[in-house]
C-alpha cells in the first residue's frame, strides 16, 4: 500500500497505483499534502477535494482500493462523521484511522445498509435470470439495470458478507 503525500505524488497517482501487482491500495497523507499545498484543514473538505478525486480516479483505473487520510481532531466526532460520509459518497473504500474510538463509526458508515443488501441481492439474482434468457437490460424494483451495475452489486454483497450481514451464495 502506498501513501501519497505531495502534489507530485498526486500527479503521479496512477503510475504509483499501478507500479506493482502486489499493490492493493493507496491512501493520502493529509497533513503532508496540506503542508505542501500551503493550506490548512477545512471542515467542508475543499482543501483536499481535488487530490482526493484524482487519487480515487487513479486507484479505480489501477483496480486497487483507496483510503482517505486520518482525521486528527479526536474531540470533533461530528466533523469526523461528516468527513467519513463525504469519503463514502466520493467512493472511498475506507478511511485511515488514528484512534480506536473512530473505528465503530467508520464501520457503520461504510457497511452496506439492509436496503442496499436487498437491492444488490435482487440485482444479482435478476441478472443471472436475465443472462440465462439472453436478456441484457432488465428492471429491478422499477429501475433499469444492465451488466454495468452488477460488479457494484456483487461488491455490496461481499462487503455485507464480510460484515456478517449476508449469508447468501450470490457472491
Domains, the chain, in order of start with CATH, read: 2-110 (3.20.20.60), 114-162 (no CATH)
pTM of the model: 0.87
Bridging pattern class, strands 137-140 and 143-146: antiparallel
pLDDT (tens digit per residue) in 82-130 = 999 999 999 999 999 999 999 999 999 999 999 999 999 999 999 999 9
- On the question of pLDDT at 171 being above 90, the answer is no
The pLDDT assigned to 108 comes to 96
Instruction: Indicate whether 160 pLDDT > 90.
Output: yes
How far is CA 5 from each of CA 29, 51, 78, rounded to the nearest angstrom? 5, 10, 26
Contacts (Cβ under 8 Å, ≥6 apart) of 73: 79, 80
pLDDT band at 151 (very low <50, low <70, confident <90, very high): very high
pLDDT for res 107:
96
pLDDT single digits (tens) 8-65: 999 999 999 999 999 999 999 999 999 999 999 999 999 999 999 999 999 999 999 9
Question: Any idea how long the chain is?
Answer: 171
Q: Decide if 154 contacts 171 (C-beta within 8 A).
A: yes
Amino acid at each position: 500500500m502506498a501513501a501519497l503525500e505531495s502534489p507530485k505524488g498526486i500527479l503521479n497517482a496512477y503510475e504509483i497505483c499501478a507500479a506493482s501487482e502486489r499493490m492493493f491500495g493507496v491512501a493520502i497523507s493529509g497533513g503532508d499534502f496540506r503542508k505542501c499545498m500551503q493550506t490548512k484543514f477545512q471542515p467542508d473538505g475543499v482543501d483536499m477535494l481535488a487530490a482526493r478525486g484524482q487519487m480515487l480516479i487513479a486507484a479505480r483505473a489501477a483496480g486497487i482500493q483507496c483510503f482517505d487520510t486520518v482525521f486528527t481532531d479526536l474531540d470533533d466526532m461530528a466533523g469526523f462523521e461528516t468527513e467519513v460520509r463525504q469519503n463514502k459518497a466520493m467512493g472511498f473504500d475506507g478511511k485511515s484511522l488514528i484512534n480506536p474510538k473512530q473505528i465503530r463509526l467508520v464501520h457503520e458508515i461504510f457497511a452496506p445498509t439492509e436496503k442496499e443488501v436487498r437491492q444488490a441481492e435482487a440485482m444479482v439474482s435478476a441478472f443471472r435470470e436475465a443472462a440465462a434468457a439472453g436478456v441484457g437490460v432488465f428492471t429491478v424494483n422499477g429501475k433499469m439495470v444492465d451488466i454495468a451495475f452488477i460488479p457494484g452489486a456483487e461488491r455490496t454483497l461481499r462487503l455485507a458478507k464480510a460484515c456478517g450481514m449476508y449469508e447468501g451464495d450470490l457472491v
